[in-house]
Amino acid sequence: MTEPDLCIYTIGHSNLSFDAFVALLTDQDAPISTVVDVRSAPYSRFAPHFNRPSLDAGLRERGIDYRFAGDDLGGRPTDPTCYFNGQVPDGKADYLHLVNYPEVSRRPWFGTGLDRLLEIAANRPTAIMCSEEDPTKCHRHHLIAKALVDRGIAVWHIRKDGSLEPASFREAALQSTLF
């Protein structure tokens, strides 16, 4: 499935204020009108305005739709066979290096979540959101953006300074062939 005109944005809320976060969403050429939350656990101890109920209410007050997709597109799957060691970690863990993303991308629930995301994005400017500001340290780049790019979808990461960075996997592929 290739949709060359379709573009999906990604953003990490980090420690931004709610107003700064909304400004990043609305300052785009095509202001974001839907945020799809891809956190497995949609809560923040350090930034409670990004807890699912508060975020949903706050975005809706600003005219931005909120959708939760952490069950299908989250970076912490509950299936132990999605981890390199065959075990779901307890508590704080380095999920980025423990989760087998190629395995997750083959799961039917992930494909269903990706299809839902594409349906949403086909109708309105959409950003997937996680907590990590740097996309290279987040599953939204290594799992979701990769799957989208593989389908021919343009993916742009919205960075904290307002810049846009294209999701690119060419350099990583070149590096992996060198070793």
Q: Which pLDDT tens digit goes with each residue over 79-120?
A: 999 999 999 998 789 999 999 999 999 999 999 999 999 999
Paired with 164 in beta bridges are: 158
Q: Which pLDDT tens digit goes with each residue over 7-37?
A: 999 999 999 999 999 999 999 777 999 999 9
- pTM as predicted: 0.91
Q: How far is CA 109 from CA 3, 115, 121, in A?
A: 21, 10, 18
DSSP string of 97-153, one letter each residue: HHB-HHHHHTSHHHHHHHHHHHHHHHHS-EEEEES-SSGGGSHIIIIIIHHHHHTT-
Q: How far apart are CA 176 and CA 179, in angstroms?
A: 6
Q: Which helix (H) or strand (E) holds 10?
A: strand 7-12
pLDDT for the residue numbered 90: 86
Q: Which pLDDT tens digit goes with each residue over 41-89?
A: 999 988 999 999 999 999 999 999 999 999 999 999 999 999 999 999 9
Mean pLDDT, the chain, integer: 91
The domains of the chain are located at 7-121+138-178
CA 125 to chain centre: 14
pLDDT for the residue numbered 92: 84
Q: Which pLDDT tens digit goes with each residue over 151-179?
A: 999 999 999 999 999 998 864 443 343 33
Paired with 83 in beta bridges are: 99
